[in-house]
Amino acid sequence: MSEGIAWIGAHSTIDRSATLPGMLGGISLTAVRGVEADEFLINLGADLDELAARTAYRDLTAAVGGPPPGVNPVMYGQCGEWLYVLEDWGMATWSTGFRKVPSMRPGPGDEVVCVTMNWWSPPQAILHAPGDERVRRAEFGEDTGEGSALDAALNAAGAVLLAPQSDEDAGTRLSEAVFTAVGTYCGLSISQGLVQAGELCGLFIPMV
């Protein structure tokens, strides 16, 4: 459990690479607990047969030469009580989908933590549904204002800034701090090697 997820933030400003069998740069993360893993993935738009096959991400994408029109490839896994979903196409599907798709809305007891890069619609954001069916949102550099344990983790990791940062490396440092905080709060550790190699399970998720 020592790897954590700070490495995702450290590579946040690197563009996705078609030469990799997996993911490395610009990854968005959705983590959920309190709901059965397959149920959440189905609500996210997973195909039942594809989900049942448990195909490695690299094999799934290689078999079709890239994602079919209208869908994006995601990678997913389990760490403790959390299911996590990784996406490197520019944002997290759940971050916009829960507003449009009733099945994606968090139910009572469903906790969701989402870090979305929002390449096409900045700013980068953290969303937190702590189990009461409400979704809190904070831009990178802020906390949700709820005084939650997640907010405490963001502050402890240096992810809450008192003033804008202007140097070239500020964005990377902030992203790394955000992912450090989320990793600490959720107790998440995701292997960079497995993700980069595309060895975790993959799915195609419809765009929403």
Q: Which of 102, 137, 139, 98 is nearest to 122 (CA)?
A: 139
Q: Residue 163: what pLDDT? A: 62
Average confidence (pLDDT) per 10 residues, the chain, 208 residues:
85 83 96 97 96 96 78 96 96 96 96 96 96 96 96 97 72 94 98 97 94
Q: Residue 156: what pLDDT? A: 97
DSSP state at residue 56: B
Q: Residue 166: what pLDDT? A: 66
Q: Residue 1: what pLDDT? A: 39
Structure pTM? 0.95
Q: Where are the strands (E) in the chain, listed by range?
A: 28-33, 71-79, 82-87, 111-116, 125-129, 136-139, 201-206
